[in-house]
Chains A and B, each alone.
Chain A
Amino acid sequence: MSHHLTGSHHGNHMDPQSLATGLGWFSIALGVAELVSPGSVTRTLGLRGTEPVVRAFGMREIVTGVGLLSARNPAPWLWARVAGDMLDIASAATAMNRHNPHRNAAGVAIASLIGVTLVDVMAARAAQAANHERSSHVYDYSDRSGMPRSPSMMRGAALDDDLTDVDHPFRDDRRGQSTERPGTAGWGAEVTAGA
């Protein structure tokens, strides 16, 4: 009936779940920062006037972060982060024009964004692989009814005999109780509910 576990499963170097959790919190922190003080982001990059865009990006980060933290399957949310990274890189790239005195800062930002994107791609791949591993093994418990005959034949089987007939402690209290509280399904009545 039961099978024994032969060994533990520590195949993966990187635990996709904890990586996803880390990235989730990172997303939320970044999102809150972008939402609360978009000005500091735009100042660094020399993109004044784009605060509403940065705020919107902040919202996106928070949604992705919450998604990452709440999902049993982080893969789609990690791919959402990758897509977001692309958007970030594209917007930072607009700061790379020759006239922007903050060009160097934008360059640094793009370089680190590329780094973050790589981590996100790795995490998304790992999560996908873990999903695949999980779903490639199907456990079939279709023979585990726990009952001697088919469920349709067992329907109502507990009502067949008077389960209140056994002698055991508390039994007397229980009888007294159910007559004292008519209609409240005192527990003498409950066991034979529907009988």
Chain B
Amino acid sequence: MKALVWHGKKDIRCESVPDPRIEDGRDVIIKVSSCAICGSDLHLYDGFVPGMKSGDIMGHEFMGEVMEVGRDNKKLKVGDRIVVPFTIICGECDQCKRGNFSVCERTNRNKDLAEKAFGRTTAGLFGYTHLTGGYPGGQAEYVRVPFADAGPVKVPSSLSDEQVLFLTDIFPTGWQAAVQCDIEPTDTVAIWGAGPVGQMAIRSAILLGAKQVIAIDNVPERLSMARAGGAITINFDEESVVERIDELTDRKGPEKCIDAVGMEAHASRSIDSMVDRAKQAVMLESDRPHVLREMMYLCRPAGVLSVPGVYGGLVDKLPFGAAMNKGLTIRMGQTHVNRYIHDLLRMIEEGKIDPSFVITHTVPLDKGPDMYKAFRDKEDGCIKVVLKT
């Protein structure tokens, strides 16, 4: 089959690889109909996530039709059309029972690696580092879905692939980012990053009743899409984030802040982000926490910082004193997709939201490598890429 394969930094190729096979009774094999490229894939593409190996198959946002079912899987049958959450869950462990799906205790088959890196294991993830199990991903014609009687969700034929595909990741991710904010009707929610996750977070914050939503980025078309979703926008290349946020919040700061940028935050006009870039280059720190710093500084006391943006290792010079003394709450994590996926599917069915608004490019799978570059460099108005097999 054809798949997008990681070979190193900025080196992803469309190649022929062996078809996947059932390995466990709970598995299914699906034929992928649509898959997408995520901002998290860019961290792998840019070589910032440790534990990748040449030959790894990329992709964790995918859906398709069940072709083959393992003998112990009583949930799915051949022909079912399913979306597959990017966090692999067993559905039975203590964490899964509490709904903490992204830290499922059983699905990471490289627990020892994860424990070395993070102290304790987290869930297995598709198409990601070997620290999270190294499971072959969904930017491919076929995928083996392990624990397939727990995670995947059937979707109705009345909805198109484009409408339901993002239930696998970015829609629940933006939603969880907003839910973690415990939004009240008087709240201002400031969202750093107007990429696909930021866009979903903007709509989620509106749907959850935020009074005012502010989006911060420096890519004009992303800011235009943010305004379409109801956000007031700040272009950090053109205006001072601090001054504008002060203006919009009576100098008190937003009650809730969301980091939808993660470890590759761009240098804005501040010196600290330049120092981070240099340190990261010489491996003195692995992540650039520019957005985290800005949020800790600007957030209103007793506020919440919600962090869907991915970090991989160590950060430097966090104003933790500001965060502590202001009594901020910090909530973060890979998304517990299965907590929200049914509710969100219902919202799509009811027509309250159609997540396909974010798609700017639809191309065949073998154009994938070019699209990684276009998405990363924001070429050609690119915000979200869907690949068709």
A142 in contact with B227 given A159-B209, A194-B184 (CB within 8 Å) = yes
A155 in contact with B358 given A1-B162, A70-B278 (CB within 8 Å) = no
| Contact status B209-A166, CB under 8 Å | no
The number of chain A residues with a CB under 8 A from chain B is 51
Contact partners of A146 in chain B: CB under 8 A: 199, 203, 228-229, 353-358
B351 interface hit (Cβ, 8 Å): yes
**Majority SS at the chain A contact face:** loop
Contact partners of A69 in chain B: CB under 8 A: 277-278, 281
By beta carbon, the residue of chain B nearest A134 is: B379
| Contact status A2-B359, CB under 8 Å | yes
The number of chain B residues with a CB under 8 A from chain A is 70
A177 interface hit (Cβ, 8 Å): yes
A residues 136-184 with Cβ under 8 Å of B?
137-148, 150-152, 154-159, 163-164, 166, 168-170, 173-174, 177
Contact partners of A56 in chain B: CB under 8 A: none
Q: How far is the CA of A151 from the CA of B199 in the complex (A)?
A: 13
| Contact status B185-A4, CB under 8 Å | no
Contact partners of B208 in chain A: CB under 8 A: 156, 158-159, 193-194
B313 interface hit (Cβ, 8 Å): no
| Contact status B99-A170, CB under 8 Å | yes
Closest 8 CB pairs of A and B: A151-B230, A139-B381, A146-B357, A156-B209, A70-B277, A139-B221, A158-B207, A141-B225
A to B CB contacts below 8 Å, 28 in the list: A1-B357, A2-B356, A4-B363, A8-B370, A9-B379, A66-B274, A69-B278, A72-B266, A72-B267, A139-B224, A141-B225, A142-B224, A142-B227, A146-B229, A146-B358, A148-B352, A152-B230, A154-B352, A156-B207, A156-B209, A163-B346, A163-B347, A170-B99, A187-B339, A193-B179, A193-B181, A193-B208, A194-B185
Chain A contact residues, CB within 8 Å of chain B: 1-5, 8-9, 17, 66-67, 69-72, 134, 137-148, 150-152, 154-159, 163-164, 166, 168-170, 173-174, 177, 185, 187, 190-191, 193-194
